[in-house]
DNA sequence: AATAAAATCACCCGAAAGTATGAGAGGAAA
DNA sequence: TTTCCTCTCATACTTTCGGGTGATTTTATT
């Protein structure tokens, strides 16, 4: 309770205490130097110096800090392939069949026609037919071109 | 000349002028209130107030403004493909040469060995040698495998 | 200057890829 | 049912690719 009040009015209390100290100081100075002529000027000077310091201290304490906003650019690297969505419009416009897309995907994984045939349980000749149709529909000459184009068109990840 | 000097010592001149005004004020106050008893306390209070203000003003002028830094993270989703950086470590660990990487890149674009040769102004046989070395270094059998692996390793976009 | 690595080119051979053509089975739509 | 499309498979042929070997020239590197 008391500590809370102290915390809240910390600055005020400090200021009060400082004033008390000053009053004492002034009295002491008065007693000490009042006998001298021109002691008043000294007294005024001391007051001036002390209160100048007080003003400086006050300004230090009370001025609000300027807020500087620093914008840090954080690059987000999306997980490659995790955001793949098949471009079905392109697929339809090319007239690609399911089986052909399947072959195309395995092609892109670097499989040979032979391997693709084994994977899909069909003969090498069948895969050759498929790949020929794929190249025809995609208007390319080689499987590497088909892969490159398919990636560009969003047919494969 | 004079204006330059004034500009350079602006703060000092201002301070001097202010002191002059204060001296005048003090004299005036002395003349005005010296007849009253306890006028000294009033005088001291005025000095205290004035010099407190002066201190505050000085502090404002002379201290560097406090800066509070607020960090705002700005998330940037880079244009896919525009942020490609070559994985040079992988490149070095595979022992790939500049020329070989060049051939690999053109391969990935779907060019035939013949076309790559034309593009690089070398013979088909040279490209064959290069591609053989590429496959050997990358430990693959086909160009499609090389392309797939190169993309995974960050050798090509 | 000597050495090593990279780049160039050639030839041969076999494997893989691609082209052309034909054809049968099954499913969907007219 | 007929027609159309997809998927399947086959044969024959051409082109491209990839492996192996060897050689010359250029370019670092020491």
Confidence category of residue A110, pLDDT binned at 50, 70, 90: very high
Q: Is B124 helix (H, G, I), strand (E, B) or coil?
A: helix
Of B58, B67, B80, the CB nearest to A68: B67
B150 touching chain A per CB within 8 A: no
Nearest to B104, CA basis, from B119, B84, B83, B89: B119
Position with higher pLDDT, B120 vs A63: B120
CA A54 – CA B127 distance, rounded (Å) = 83
pLDDT at position A73 is 53
Confidence of residue A5 (pLDDT cuts 50, 70, 90): very low
Helix A143-153 vs helix B143-153: crossing angle, to nearest 10: 40
pLDDT at A139 over 60: yes
Q: Note whether B59 contacts A60, CB cutoff 8 Å.
A: yes
Least confident of A6-15, B35-44, B133-142: A6-15
Q: What pLDDT is attached to residue A138?
A: 93
Give the distance, in angstroms, between residue A149 CA and nucleotide D11 C1'.
Answer: 31
Mutate to test the interface with B, among A51, A79, A156 (most CBs of B within 10 A): A51
Distance between CA atoms of residues A143 and A41, nearest Å? 101
Q: Which nucleotides of C are covered by protein (CB under 7 A)?
A: 5-12, 16-23
- The HSE-up count of residue B112 (CA atoms within 13 Å, CB side) is 6
Question: Quick check: B40 and A34 in contact, CB under 8 A?
Answer: no
Residue-level pLDDT at B86? 76
Region A94-116: mean pLDDT is 93
pTM for this prediction: 0.58
- Which residue of chain A is at minimal alpha-carbon distance from B56? A55
Say whether A110 and B51 touch across the interface (CB within 8 A): no
- pLDDT number for residue B118: 93
User: Residue A112 has which token pair?
Assistant: 């040979």
Of residues B147 and A80, more confidently modeled: B147
């Amino acid at each position: 309770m008391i500590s809370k009040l102290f915390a809240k009015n910390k600055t005020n209390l400090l200021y009060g205490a400082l004033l008390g100290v000053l009053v004492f100081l002034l009295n002491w100075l008065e007693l000490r130097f009042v006998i001298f002529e021109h002691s008043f000027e000294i007294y005024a000077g001391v007051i001036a110096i002390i209160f100048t310091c007080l003003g400086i201290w006050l300004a230090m304490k009370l001025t609000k800090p300027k807020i500087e906003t620093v914008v840090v650019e954080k690059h987000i690297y999306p997980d490659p392939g995790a955001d793949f969505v098949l471009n079905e419009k392109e697929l339809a416009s090319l007239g690609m069949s399911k089986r052909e897309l399947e072959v195309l995907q395995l092609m892109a994984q670097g499989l040979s026609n032979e391997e693709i045939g084994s994977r899909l349980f069909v003969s090498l000749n069948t895969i050759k037919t498929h790949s020929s149709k794929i190249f025809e529909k995609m208007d390319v000459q080689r499987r590497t071109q088909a892969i490159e184009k398919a990636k560009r068109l969003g047919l494969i990840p």
